[in-house]
Amino acid sequence: MTDDSTVIRIDNLHKSFGQLEVLRGVSISARRGDVVSLIGSSGSGKSTLLRCANLLEDSQQGEILFKGEPVKWAGAGPARHPADAAQVLRIRTNLSMVFQQFNLWSHLTVLQNVMEAPVTVLKRDRAEVEQTARAYLDKVGIGDKCDVWPAQLSGGQQQRAAIARALAMEPEALLFDEPTSALDPELEQEVVRVIKDLAAEGRTMLIVTHDMKLAADVSDHVVFLHQGLIEEEGAPDTFFGAPKSERLQGFLSSTRAA
């Protein structure tokens, strides 16, 4: 059942790449203000699930609902794809994604990177967007880097610029795909601090992460994916403090040992 506060809901999602079944019937939801973390081994389907949620990947079966509105599909099975391009654009602009690789445009300054999508996609007033963009760059701690090129930033600064770019779309939810895994530990903490601040503000977020401490600290709900299925899920206290399944116990033991 979807209530008015549910931002995104996924029911029984299946996704294959050729013969490889990556998602085998996954259901998750996030209400307004929820932080849901997805953890699991490489190849478990975490990032694919996030990309399907944002309609960057086509799924073969199951439903995706944004604020109670189901995605309209055409075709079936491997030929299934979204039927309404305007709906896809609307959903994507309301589910801003932050990738593992920062994906900043090298030919634009940091400020121009943050402004580009609100101006060109949402057709917002440039002067208003610039004011908002500068505020978000301040928020993530790099307001003094507005006029520099991405190549002049550290990895942590580039990822924070990417977060500011996502925030500038004023999305309903933020989707983070391993936002710290390309960073060394010192730079990773810069980004973790920003994510924690966003969680404290009550932002709706889906986070794919290898950082168990981040998942434990910011999440309302944690999901452990194993071979394309949800093996276990729950509130962080019980999830990390008293895991039930042997697979989750083994996974958490291996991450602590790493």
pLDDT in tens, 28-49: 999 999 999 999 999 999 999 9
Burial class, 211, CB count within 10 angstroms (exposed 0-12 / middle 13-18 / buried 19+): buried
User: Residue 182: what pLDDT?
Assistant: 82
User: Which residue range forms the structural domain that includes residue 79?
Assistant: 6-100+175-257
Residue with the two structure tokens 């090298």: 106
Q: Is residue 214 part of a domain?
A: yes
Residue-level pLDDT at 61: 97
pLDDT of residue 1: 41
Contacts of 200 (CB under 8 A, 6+ apart): none
List of the chain residues with pLDDT < 70: 1-4, 257-258
CATH number of the domain where residue 215 is located: 3.40.50.300
pLDDT of res. 256: 78
Residue 199 lies in a domain: yes
Q: How much is the pLDDT for 178?
A: 93
Consecutive H or E run containing 65: strand 61-66
pLDDT in the model for residue 23: 98
| Cβ-proximal residues to 252 (8 Å cutoff; 6+ apart), any chain | 212, 240, 243
- Whole-model pTM? 0.93
Q: Give CA angle at 214 (135, 191), nearest 5°.
A: 35
Domain-located, residue 75: yes
Residue 123 lies in a domain: no
pLDDT score at 257: 64
* DSSP structural state of residue 72: P
Check residue 109 and give its pLDDT: 98
- Show Cβ contacts of residue 2 under 8 Å, excluding neighbours closer than 6 positions: 9, 29, 65, 68
CA-angle at 69, arms to 95 and 1, nearest 5°: 105
Residue 224 lies in a domain: yes
What's the domain count of the chain? 1
pLDDT at 210: 92
Give the pLDDT confidence score for residue 106 in this predicted structure. Answer: 95
Do the domain assignments include residue 160?
no
Burial environment of residue 31 by CB neighbours within 10 A (0 to 12, 13 to 18, 19 or more): middle
Q: Is 227 helix (H, G, I), strand (E, B) or coil?
A: coil
- Which uninterrupted H or E stretch holds 119? helix 110-120
Distance CA 168, CA 177 (A): 18
The answer for residues whose C-beta is within 8 angstroms of residue 160's C-beta and 6 or more apart is: 140, 141, 142, 190, 191, 194
Dist. CA 81–CA 138, nearest whole Å: 39
Domain assignment of residue 148, yes or no? no
